[in-house]
């Protein structure tokens, strides 16, 4: 083969660059997908384990509602935090027959705090608008706070399983904190006396002394 022929053949058939075999791509794709799914499952399990760990969640709750001794008549079932948005804790008092949901809004989400005290409003994260509500007042540790009594809430399929509720406004400058009480078994409203006793476990206004 002459030098000219070799040159022409080289131009017609350039050498192919090395490529990853398709089988490798297919195998990696399926394998990576499996690893991703497993990682998601593991992360979800770890999150749920932490969210339902009473000792861990009591420590977090203490940063929002300080207390000297952990209440023995309250069970903390779930605690969850969304960075820069919300903290939520769910406690239950079997003896008194109510569930208390503590909601602490943060960042831009806190601007929607008032929605939780307005009927027919859309509260942050779909917490549910109160139905047949009535505003009132209650004295908590020497301070008069706003409360809203309601029959049920919209947008929650299981809401009718609980009795009438009460939302207690513990907000102040720099804090958007609310506690919602619902009866567990009875359809009777949660009594104001029970709400006051609930807060006796906590130092609600401790930061006001700083």
Least confident of 26-30, 62-66, 142-146, 187-191: 26-30
pTM value is 0.72
Give residue-wise pLDDT tens across range 137-189. 999 999 999 999 988 777 655 555 577 889 999 999 999 999 999 887 666 78
Q: What is the CA radius of gyration of the chain?
A: 28
Give residue-wise pLDDT tens across range 67-97. 999 999 999 988 888 888 889 999 999 888 8
Q: What's the rounded Cα separation, in Å, for the pair 85 and 108?
A: 7
Q: What's the rounded Cα separation, in Å, for the pair 49 and 52?
A: 5
Q: Where are the domains of the chain?
A: 52-205
Residue 16 has pLDDT above 90, yes or no: no
What is the average pLDDT across 16-21? 52
Phi first, then psi: give them for residue 177, nearest 5 degrees.
-120, 135
* No. of helices (H) and no. of strands (E), the chain: 4, 9
Length of the chain (residues): 210
Residue 31 has pLDDT above 50, yes or no: no
């Amino acid at each position: 083969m002459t030098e000219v022929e070799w040159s022409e053949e080289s131009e017609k058939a350039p050498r192919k660059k090395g490529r990853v075999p398709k089988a490798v791509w297919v195998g990696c794709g399926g394998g990576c997908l499996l690893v991703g799914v497993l990682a998601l499952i593991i992360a979800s399990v770890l999150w749920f384990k932490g969210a339902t760990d009473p000792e861990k969640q009591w420590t977090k709750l203490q940063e929002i509602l300080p207390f000297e001794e952990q209440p023995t008549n309250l069970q903390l079932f779930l605690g969850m935090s969304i960075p820069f948005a919300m903290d939520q804790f769910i406690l239950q008092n079997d003896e008194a027959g109510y569930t208390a949901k503590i909601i602490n809004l943060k960042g831009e989400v806190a601007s929607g705090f008032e929605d939780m005290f307005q009927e027919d409003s859309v509260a942050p994260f779909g917490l549910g608008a109160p139905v047949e509500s009535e505003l009132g007042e209650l004295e908590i540790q020497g301070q008069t706070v706003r409360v809203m009594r309601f029959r049920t809430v919209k947008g929650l399929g299981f809401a009718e399983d609980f009795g009438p509720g009460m939302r207690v406004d513990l907000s102040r400058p720099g804090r958007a904190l609310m506690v919602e009480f619902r009866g567990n078994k009875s359809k009777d409203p949660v009594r104001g006396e029970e709400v006051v006793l609930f807060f006796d476990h906590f130092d609600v206004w401790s930061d006001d002394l700083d």
